[in-house]
Chain A
Amino acid sequence: MNRLLIIVFIGLIGVLYSITYKSSTDIRVISKRINVSELGLEDILSRLGDKPLNHRLVTFDDSKAQIGLELIKYGKTSKQKSKRISKHFVCTDCHNLGREFEELSDDSAENRLEYARKNGLNYLPGSTFYGIYNRTSFYNDDYIKKYGNLVDNARDTLENSIQLCAKYCSSGRYLESWEVEAIMHYFKKTELKLRDINLTENQLKNVLNSQKMNSEEKSELVSMIKSKYSQSYSAHFKPTMDRNDRKYGEGGDVENGKAIYNSSCLFCHYDKRVTYLNLDETQITAQMFWRNIESYTDKSLYQIIRYGTYAKTGRKQYMPLYTDEKMSDSQINDLVAYIKQLAGK
């Protein structure tokens, strides 16, 4: 009898343990099993009671993420029969895949360029895909001027943003659902981790002990975490600078300008990689820019950077514009200073 009681007792303990184990998978328990700094922010925020992301993926499949990466880099995948998304662009022509700021809450053009220079990144017109999964708003601010009502459904939904980008920004086609899914899995894979947002030791301790907090404290914690990274990147278009306001490189930082020319202009134009216009670091090329520097046409750096060109029937290839956040007026002056020097003026 006693033996039977002991077995029932042990069984009950087992059942209770399994129930408590499931219901208390808080951050502290998780932290005992895995490295907490590797936890995704989405997971942490949802455990702190934050509203789930619209595009939340409940499960993650690495093989889909691999396909997603192929689609992003090459516009097609070798693992499944698919048609190229666009014959003009791939995602990485405009978007980096890695981190672009020291502080992820930052969005200043100056700091972005400094980080790009330090880490050998390209300085591109689109925001990085790194941490895009943790963002909640896309095609922000002035992008409505370029894409009109098309941005309405894309602004709060990452999947729709992907479709808008594939069809219109890359002059391609709408994606199949499996393609969107694969890209979403890649985004999930590269979502921000706790380690990415540079928490202090105390802040990290608070996160670990969050199961003891009341809802108000948890809400504060959510706000603190969210203040550490950008949920949406601002995007403000600027008109072509008035001829009289242009500095024509005066006081510009030539080294900065050279870095911009190499990491922005040449990334697409060198050896006609993406376009038909070949650019290089020769005097004859710089003279082409310098000769047109005062104009209000596509040939002027002041205009082409701010307006880009537009895809039109028969010519779907175009140049995207740089918003003020992606290239500041001061950086354009740096670029012009470099071009002026290269042109021998």
Chain B
Amino acid sequence: MKIVITLLLCSSTFIVKSQDALETFNETRILNAHSNETLKKKILQFRIEHRFGDMAGSAGGAQEFFGFDNAADIRFAFEYGVTDKLMIGLGRSKGTGAPYRSLVDGFVKYKVLEQNKAKQIPVGVSLFGASTITYMKANEDLSLVQSFPKFSHRMTYVSQAIISRKFNDRFSMAILPTYVHRNLVLANDINGLFSCGAAISLKITKGFGILGEYFYNFHDNEIRTEFKNSLSAGLEWLTNGHNFKLVITNAKGFNEVQYIAGNTSDWSKGQFRLGFSISRNFKL
């Protein structure tokens, strides 16, 4: 009986150091892409994300104040930790207009594996699935994707595995095999697109770090002639309950369907932009 009581008393005051790779990335996003991290249980996060217009090139420069006059995409979202390993999110994006505007996205992310030296698990694996739907007004021109002949043409889907590894206190990396599916595309595009992302995080201090992210699309360049791979770099500041990121990227839009499958901006033509994301956590 004494043992039972002792265990009962101890159970409330015992630190379980279950992992040895906490904060592989500082929050649930790397830059555009999701990281392996999920929100803790009963944490509600509000996110505001913004991408400005082209900094340089024909649509940028001083006339557009290096893109600050324009908003390529804006996303507001509420995201929530259902358990310590499962999170869901619902967001609304302005959309880049190529081809979608007024996008609503919903996603689920689940931590399948956590890196753990003692258990000889070298990497963390999270699975991510998302879907978007646009409620933009359909265009009468049937040669455009935006004509949406069927309701299902408004929908897109993403599946992604986020394989991450924290190499040391400061350096982490992730590989992100991704599949994006769109129900309706033009002739110069494909419905199902495989892509693989790679991302790094280098923490200079506990609260400040540098991030990089690149997605390589496995597509036939002769069909998808207009599309470009997304390349992004960023700085990150972490404070108690807040995360602020400053991003420079050629991708205009949020959601995988836009920044992986629908990206047409080219770094070499000055079509890169600043962006930021701010998140604030609330306990429910």
Partner of A284, one of B6, B19, B169, B241: B169
Q: What is the CA–CA distance of A280 and B12 in the complex, to the nearest angstrom?
A: 20
B165 CB to closest chain A CB (Å) equals: 16
Main DSSP-derived SS at the B contact region: loop
Tell whether B29 is near chain A: CB-to-CB under 8 Å: no
Contact (Cβ within 8 A) B240 A275 = yes
- Binary flags per residue of B1-36, CB closer than 8 Å to A gives 1, else 0: 000001011101111011100110000000000000
Contact (Cβ within 8 A) B241 A276 = yes
By CB atoms of chain B within 10 A, which of A263, A284, A285 has the most?
A: A284
B222 CB to closest chain A CB (Å) equals: 47
- CB neighbours (8 Å) of B205 from chain A are 284, 287-288, 291
Contact (Cβ within 8 A) B283 A88 = yes
Which residues from 160 to 202 on chain B have a C-beta closer than 8 Å to any C-beta of chain A? 169-170
Q: What is the CA–CA distance of A93 and B203 in the complex, to the nearest angstrom?
A: 30
Tell whether B206 is near chain A: CB-to-CB under 8 Å: yes
Q: What is the CA–CA distance of A272 and B13 in the complex, to the nearest angstrom?
A: 15
Contact (Cβ within 8 A) A276 B207 = no
- CB neighbours (8 Å) of A263 from chain B are 15
Q: What is the CA–CA distance of A92 and B13 in the complex, to the nearest angstrom?
A: 7
By CB atoms of chain B within 10 A, which of A276, A282, A317 has the most?
A: A276
Partner of B240, one of A69, A270, A273, A277: A277
A291 CB to closest chain B CB (Å) equals: 8
Partner of B17, one of A69, A124, A270, A277: A270
Number of interface residues of A (CB under 8 A): 35
Contact (Cβ within 8 A) B12 A315 = no
- CB neighbours (8 Å) of A98 from chain B are 6, 9-10, 13
Tell whether A262 is near chain B: CB-to-CB under 8 Å: yes
- CB neighbours (8 Å) of B18 from chain A are 271
- CB neighbours (8 Å) of B19 from chain A are 271
Tell whether B40 is near chain A: CB-to-CB under 8 Å: yes
Residue of B nearest to A319 (CB): B240
A298 CB to closest chain B CB (Å) equals: 9
**What would 16 A/B residue contacts be, using CB atoms closer than 8 Å?**
A92-B12, A96-B9, A96-B13, A97-B12, A266-B15, A266-B17, A270-B17, A272-B40, A277-B240, A278-B23, A283-B169, A284-B203, A284-B205, A288-B205, A288-B207, A291-B205
A244 CB to closest chain B CB (Å) equals: 27
Partner of A87, one of B10, B12, B207, B284: B284
- CB neighbours (8 Å) of A291 from chain B are 205
User: Which B residues are closer than 8 A to A by beta carbons?
Assistant: 6, 8-10, 12-15, 17-19, 22-23, 40, 42, 169-170, 203, 205-207, 240-241, 281, 283-284
- CB neighbours (8 Å) of B9 from chain A are 96-98
Contact (Cβ within 8 A) A276 B206 = no
By CB atoms of chain A within 10 A, which of B12, B18, B240, B241 has the most?
A: B12
Q: What is the CA–CA distance of A122 and B10 in the complex, to the nearest angstrom?
A: 9
With A271-B19, A276-B241 as contacts: A120 and B10 at CB distance below 8 Å: yes
Contact (Cβ within 8 A) B206 A280 = no
Contact (Cβ within 8 A) A287 B284 = no
Residue of B nearest to A116 (CB): B13
A233 CB to closest chain B CB (Å) equals: 18
Contact (Cβ within 8 A) B22 A278 = yes
Q: What is the CA–CA distance of A96 and B11 in the complex, to the nearest angstrom?
A: 11
Tell whether A104 is near chain B: CB-to-CB under 8 Å: no
Which residues from 83 to 123 on chain A have a C-beta closer than 8 Å to any C-beta of chain B? 87-88, 92, 96-98, 120-122
Contact (Cβ within 8 A) B13 A276 = no
Q: Can you name 6 extra interface pairs (CB under 8 A) apart from A273-B15, A280-B22, A315-B241?
A: A124-B13, A266-B17, A270-B17, A270-B22, A271-B18, A288-B206
B207 CB to closest chain A CB (Å) equals: 7
Contact (Cβ within 8 A) B13 A282 = no
- CB neighbours (8 Å) of B284 from chain A are 87
Partner of A262, one of B6, B13, B15, B203: B15
Q: What is the CA–CA distance of A263 and B14 in the complex, to the nearest angstrom?
A: 9
By CB atoms of chain B within 10 A, which of A263, A291, A317 has the most?
A: A317
B13 CB to closest chain A CB (Å) equals: 5
- CB neighbours (8 Å) of A88 from chain B are 283
Tell whether A267 is near chain B: CB-to-CB under 8 Å: yes
A68 CB to closest chain B CB (Å) equals: 13
Q: What is the CA–CA distance of A221 and B64 in the complex, to the nearest angstrom?
A: 88
Partner of B42, one of A72, A87, A277, A284: A87
